[in-house]
Structure 1
Amino acid sequence: MNADQTEALIGMLFTFGLLVLMVLPSVLGILRDRRIDRSIREAQQAHRDQESATREPEAQKSSSRSTVPSTATWYADGRRSKKLVSS
């Protein structure tokens, strides 16, 4: 290995080292966020399980969806009423 190759190798290692130093904090932050998200999900699941265990059985509902009419329903109701008034 001659001097040019040695300099190139040192330059590449230095560049790679700088890259690792710049990327490392963001990778550590991503890993930390994932760990926190996982612990929050586990706590929420435990809370839901605890609530469902302490809650008395309620009457079964036909649907868990909201019963509020959609925008299309409101629009159709408005048009129907106008049509009835005009005829």
Structure 2
Amino acid sequence: MNTNQIEGLIGMLMVLGILVLLVLPSVLGIVRDRRADRQIREAQEARGEREGQKSSSRSTVPSTATWYADGRRSKKLVSS
């Protein structure tokens, strides 16, 4: 290899190094975002499964007796 080829190789390696330094933060950000998206998706799926089990096991609407008892409690607290 002569001097011109070595200088060309060094120049090419410098350009590639600068390109890597410019692209690296973007690639790291994309990887981080994908990991966060995956964690959010897994958490939503787990939450959906958990809520699906809860909703089938009990009713979400309170009974009339509960409303009546709540009204009696509030009147009792006001009078004392």
Task: Letter of the 2:23 partner, please give it.
Answer: V
How far apart are the structure 1 equivalents of 2:6 and 2:56? Answer: 75
- Which sections of structure 1, spanning at least 5 residues, go unmatched? 58-87
How far apart are the structure 1 equivalents of 2:35 and 2:11? Answer: 36
How high is the TM-score relative to the length of structure 2? 0.69
How far apart are the structure 1 equivalents of 2:10 and 2:29? Answer: 29
| 2:37 counterpart residue number | 37
How far apart are the structure 2 equivalents of 1:4 and 1:52? Answer: 70
Deviations along 1:37-69, one digit per CA (max 9) or x if unpaired, are: 000000000000000011127xxxxxxxxxxxx
- Which sections of structure 2, spanning at least 5 residues, go unmatched? 58-80
SS in structure 2 of the partner of residue 55 of structure 1: helix
Deviations along 1:11-46, one digit per CA (max 9) or x if unpaired, are: 000000000000000000000000000000000000
SS in structure 2 of the partner of residue 56 of structure 1: helix
Number of aligned residue pairs = 58
Identity of aligned residues (%): 60
| 1:25 counterpart residue number | 25
Q: CA RMSD in A?
A: 1.5
How high is the TM-score relative to the length of structure 1? 0.64
Task: Letter of the 1:43 partner, please give it.
Answer: A
List, as ranges, runs of 4+ consecutive aligned residues in structure 1 with deviation greater than 6 Å. Answer: none
